[in-house]
Structure 1
Amino acid sequence: MDRLTEMEAFATVVDQGGFTDAAKKMGISKSAVSKHVSALEARLGARLLNRTTRRVSPTEIGLAYYDRARRVLNDAGEADALVTSMQTAPSGLLRISVATDFGVNHLSPVLGEFLQQHPGITVNMVLNNRYVELISEGFDMAIRIGELEDSTLRARKLADTTRRMIASPSYFQQYGRPEKIDDLNEHKLLHYSNQANAAVWKITAPSGEKRQIRTTGWLTVNDGQSLLNACISGLGIAYLPSFLYSEAMQKGLVEEAIPGLPVEVQGIYAVYPPGRFTQPKVRAFIDFLVDAFSDKGPETW
């Protein structure tokens, strides 16, 4: 007889508390269930069930065997589900968390193409600048930038971005260009208001030394695109990622404030809850993003 069927019959008898209910659960006859369990006991050379006229219960050996058998059966069920899901067109609601700046500028423009490719998927994209708990808040995945703090999540890199201090040519003409990090104290600086310690810029000096510059801001706003617009208008120096400033720098609208400083590179990742296999809708979207951003970063966006 099939070993897995024998294990399933035994485990179902334990789960249902008897042969009659186990037979109903499995959709086979009571005698067939009994034959499977008897064959299992004969093969193992051990009695797994205590049988009385009123009830059936596992022996001590049977209980230990049940724990392992149930794991095997669950794994087999997940393996079947995995194969089925991989052959099924991705579908369902995909809930995504992404930082506002990246979502507006780079995720929103490609969503239409993704939805055209996968008509069975609907997307709920939540734009915010806070750290969300994927599982407890009901998100399927998130896009995160920089060092990943939660090591329990699975992650796949989509691209790299850099961070630079930038300002417009008109700003430098009016206020001069800082030559070293300490000169920033004499300049008009623009800050994010939604980041912890936003008034502290962490900068790497040419020597490799990590510097923390506590700056006073001329303008504080909770949106990166608004900071870029302020830069272009000549209002000050901002510390922004390349996925925001790249196009403006290529057009000559902004320039790097202190060109000699080492460039900070940050990864952009798709993160999603751990599990034995990835949901088809999540896997499809991540594969799409990897392809969509294959020619992006760290400076070219």
Structure 2
Amino acid sequence: MTVNLPQLRAFLAVVDAGGFSAAAAELGMSQSAVSHAVASLERELAAPLLVRATPVRTTVLGEQVLPHARIALSAVRSVEQIAADATETMTGTVRLASTPTVCQGLIPGLLRHWCEDQPRITVRVFEGDSSEVSAWLENGTADAAVLIDPPPGPGIQLAMDGYRALLPRDHPLAGEPLVDIRDLEDDQFLISPNGCEARIRTIHHLAGLRFTPTHRVRDLATLISMVQAGIGVTVLSEVSRSLIPPDLILLPLEPRTSRRLVLTGPDARPWHPAIRTLAESAAHYLARTDSGAPFAVEGPAPALP
């Protein structure tokens, strides 16, 4: 049995893209070449790996092969990047995952900076909720992630992201320098049930309030639109500031709490070598822009693998 890297690369591309045509575009190959590579892998393994449907999905065997294929290609990328690092020509593609608020509020500026500072490194962004991001990092779908309040370990803290009250500009408290969550008790409270909910519950608990949201909205844009419409108020992290329209205002909130945004790699396999370069570049960028940005970058970066 001879399984080769082009076969595994084609198999993973089809799974991740959801079809042969999209995978071909991603790999810069013809659709027939991708189809041939996957078919040859299936012949080597003497069983089908994919169900040819829309979208394509894995068979039971394909699901078992998938994590091992990801590990194999991750190891190859690491070898290639170690060699590139030795010759000071860091190149490659890093798949970066994070949550919607971080992807929308923090990542665009970093992507623009990385494009200028590290033009040989391509960063592809995957957006998902906290559980999806952690799973992608663990199973190899992503090479790196910006995690929220991860356990102590290797990584670099990009920012301390505080929580703010989001109010219409005609709200009675909109002119105040600071809002106490207790002063919003008579307002209808809106919440997006994602990774922020636990911290917003904590804010209410610290203030001695029951947490009783009136509406639960999954999409951040819908949540903001509802505040615009005067339906209620909410609490968002500071990273959301760039998404806030001019008729709304984000104000400092009491009790104060914040979350750590940490760029890190997987626990169970070697890191893509370019992550170190991206992390150091991001730290320098955020330190330079901190005076005009809503984040606090605190302390030196911990050692990276």
What is the match of residue 203 of structure 1?
A: 203
Greater strand proportion: 1
Report the secondary structure of 1:126's partner residue.
Answer: strand
Q: How far apart, CA to CA, are the structure 2 residues paired with 1:299 and 1:108?
A: 14
Q: What root-mean-square deviation, in Å, do the aligned CA atoms of Structure 1 and Structure 2 show?
A: 4.0
What residue identity is the alignment partner of 2:98? V
Q: How far apart, CA to CA, are the structure 2 residues paired with 1:160 and 1:166?
A: 18
Superposition pairs of residues 7-22 of structure 1, within 5 angstroms: none
**How far apart are residue 204 of structure 1 and its match?**
6.2
What residue identity is the alignment partner of 1:268? L
What is the match of residue 244 of structure 1?
A: 240
Structure 1, unmatched stretches of 5+, are 1-77
Q: How far apart, CA to CA, are the structure 1 residues paired with 2:196 and 2:259?
A: 18
Q: Quick one: structure 1 residues 157 and 223, their matched pair in 2 at CA, closer, same or farther if it must change by over 3 Å? A: same
Q: How far apart, CA to CA, are the structure 1 residues paired with 2:118 and 2:196?
A: 38
Alpha-carbon displacement from aligned partner over 1:98-155 (angstroms, at most 9, x marks no partner):
111111222124314423443432222101113223131332110022x214x5x522
Identity in percent: 17
What is the match of residue 234 of structure 1?
A: 230
Q: Quick one: structure 1 residues 262 and 164, their matched pair in 2 at CA, closer, same or farther if it must change by over 3 Å? A: same
**How far apart are residue 197 of structure 1 and its match?**
5.8
What is the match of residue 210 of structure 2?
A: 213
* TM-score where L is the length of structure 2: 0.55
**How far apart are residue 183 of structure 1 and its match?**
6.0
What is the match of residue 222 of structure 1?
A: 218
Alpha-carbon displacement from aligned partner over 1:1-47 (angstroms, at most 9, x marks no partner):
xxxxxxxxxxxxxxxxxxxxxxxxxxxxxxxxxxxxxxxxxxxxxxx
Query: Please, which of 245, 262, 284 is the counterpart of residue 277 of structure 2?
Result: 284
What is the match of residue 148 of structure 1?
A: 150
What residue identity is the alignment partner of 2:141? G
Q: Quick one: structure 1 residues 171 and 110, their matched pair in 2 at CA, closer, same or farther if it must change by over 3 Å? A: same
Q: How far apart, CA to CA, are the structure 2 residues paired with 1:110 and 1:159?
A: 12
Alpha-carbon displacement from aligned partner over 1:233-283 (angstroms, at most 9, x marks no partner):
43311111012137859x6832548x5x23112221101125898543111
Contact 2:82 2:273 in 1 (8 A): no
Q: Quick one: structure 1 residues 298 and 276, their matched pair in 2 at CA, closer, same or farther if it must change by over 3 Å? A: farther
Q: How far apart, CA to CA, are the structure 2 residues paired with 1:105 and 1:180?
A: 24
Aligned length: 210
Q: How far apart, CA to CA, are the structure 1 residues paired with 2:157 and 2:279?
A: 9
**How far apart are residue 185 of structure 1 and its match?**
4.7
Contact 2:84 2:90 in 1 (8 A): no
Q: Quick one: structure 1 residues 256 and 111, their matched pair in 2 at CA, closer, same or farther if it must change by over 3 Å? A: closer
Structure 2, unmatched stretches of 5+, are 1-77, 296-305
Q: Quick one: structure 1 residues 235 and 86, their matched pair in 2 at CA, closer, same or farther if it must change by over 3 Å? A: farther
Q: Quick one: structure 1 residues 89 and 280, their matched pair in 2 at CA, closer, same or farther if it must change by over 3 Å? A: farther
Is 1:254 the equivalent of 2:254? no
